[in-house]
Amino acid sequence: MSARVSIRRAGVADAEVVLTMVRELADHQNEGQDVTVGIDDWTRMLGRDDVVVLVAEQDGRALGYVSALRRLHLWSGAEVLALDDLYVRASGRDGGVGRSLMLALARHAAPDRLTIAWGVRHDNTAAQRFYERLGAKLREKVVVSWDADTYTAALRR
Amino acid sequence: MSARVSIRRAGVADAEVVLTMVRELADHQNEGQDVTVGIDDWTRMLGRDDVVVLVAEQDGRALGYVSALRRLHLWSGAEVLALDDLYVRASGRDGGVGRSLMLALARHAAPDRLTIAWGVRHDNTAAQRFYERLGAKLREKVVVSWDADTYTAALRR
């Protein structure tokens, strides 16, 4: 199957298919409520140089995507490529599409030798093994988030 | 002591003191080799709107800093404030300077209600307790990095 899969960078005209897949991924992880972005946001974001979305297609149908953001790294003064999502639709699974998307992202990062960095859920051991097979380095971390309601309460005290 | 501590946003003229403290923090964590940024980089970065560095001072001397980067969040289309470093020099520890820096960052984030997000080393339980006391939400995650040498090798296979 993978011979007929092509990968290209998404542009502003792809906002709808990208948003549809972002919602599928979020629903799949029971995090659908966290996707509050709309078509207009994605149209704007896909026009930005620092937003990188690669879409895998087969016979004109989207099979999956990888999204990433170029961001500054304050210890090096250089940029890193912060991977956000990697998603393959059920119809494209076990066909090497995820690996192809990751390698396409690596090709995108290679000219500037950007380090690619991301997080994986602690219980998603299948994904962790997949990334280890690509040679990526994994380590445990504690991630912290402090939302506006919570810090506003702390500021009042 | 904390009554005499003031906090202000660092500007381009503060590149040297910021870089000095970044190096102190990295050395303290045995990661000094990871700081490859120079004065010129910091001068450029401190001129950017999306780079936020707050410096705590006492009698004109820097006691510590917190650094953060405004970055796009692809699931909401809004920005988040990605905290990078929180550092207090030995001379300022146990005086509430770290807490004051965090609250100052919250005040910076409050007008846009930006969520503040960051990572903590798995073994740094003192920092984890400190952030819990601020009301922040902590969870375990696996963080992955894929550097240029490694993905270039994967691309050759």
Q: Could you tell me the CA-to-CA distances from B36 to A75, A76, B22, B65, B75 in Å, in that order?
A: 6, 5, 11, 19, 32
Tally of residues, chain A: 157
Contacts of A140 in chain B (CB under 8 A): 122, 140-143
Interface confidence, given as ipTM, is 0.93
CB contact under 8 A, A135 and B155: no
Task: Output the DSSP codes for A86-118.
Answer: EEE-GGGTTTTHHHHHHHHHHHHHGGGTPPEEE
- Express each pLDDT in A71-128 by its tens digit: 999 999 999 999 999 999 998 888 899 999 999 999 999 999 999 999 999 999 999 9
Which two structure tokens, joined as six digits, stand for A103? 């390698």
Which two structure tokens, joined as six digits, stand for A95? 């066909």
Q: Which residue of B74, B115, B139 is in closest CB contact with A45?
A: B74
Provide the pLDDT confidence category of residue A51 given band limits of 50, 70 and 90. very high
CATH superfamily of B2-156: Gcn5-related N-acetyltransferase (GNAT) (3.40.630.30)
pLDDT at B70: 97
pLDDT at A92: 85
Which two structure tokens, joined as six digits, stand for A3? 């011979």
The three-state secondary structure class of B54 is strand
Which DSSP letter does residue B25 get?
H
CB contact under 8 A, B116 and A67: no
Q: Is A129 on the interface with B (CB under 8 A)?
A: no
Mean pLDDT by 10 residues, chain B (157 residues): 81 98 95 95 97 96 97 94 96 90 98 97 95 97 97 94
Nearest-CA distance B63 → chain A (Å): 19
Which two structure tokens, joined as six digits, stand for B85? 């470093």
Contacts of B30 in chain A (CB under 8 A): none
Q: Are B85 and B25 in contact (CB under 8 A)?
A: yes
Which residue did the predictor score with more confidence, A57 or B1?
A: A57
pLDDT at B93: 86
Percentage of chain A modeled with pLDDT above 70: 98
Distance, CA of A23 to CA of A39 (rounded, Å): 12
pTM attached to this predicted model: 0.92
Helix (H) / strand (E) containing B52: strand B51-58
Q: Are A18 and A10 in contact (CB under 8 A)?
A: yes
Residue among A101, A105, A97 nearest A80 (CA) = A105
Which two structure tokens, joined as six digits, stand for B90? 């030995």
Percentage of chain A modeled with pLDDT above 90: 92
Helix (H) / strand (E) containing B84: strand B79-88
Q: Which residues pair with B6 in a beta bridge?
A: B57
Q: Is residue A142 scored above 50 in pLDDT?
A: yes
Output the furthest CA–CA distance in chain B (Å, rounded).
61
Q: Which residue of A116, A128, A145 is in closest CB contact with B146?
A: A116
CB contact under 8 A, B151 and A116: yes
Q: Is B145 on the interface with A (CB under 8 A)?
A: yes
- Residue in chain A nearest B22 by alpha carbon: A75
Nearest-CA distance B99 → chain A (Å): 10
pLDDT at A1: 46
Q: Are B79 and A114 in contact (CB under 8 A)?
A: no
pLDDT at A2: 46
CB contact under 8 A, A50 and B72: yes
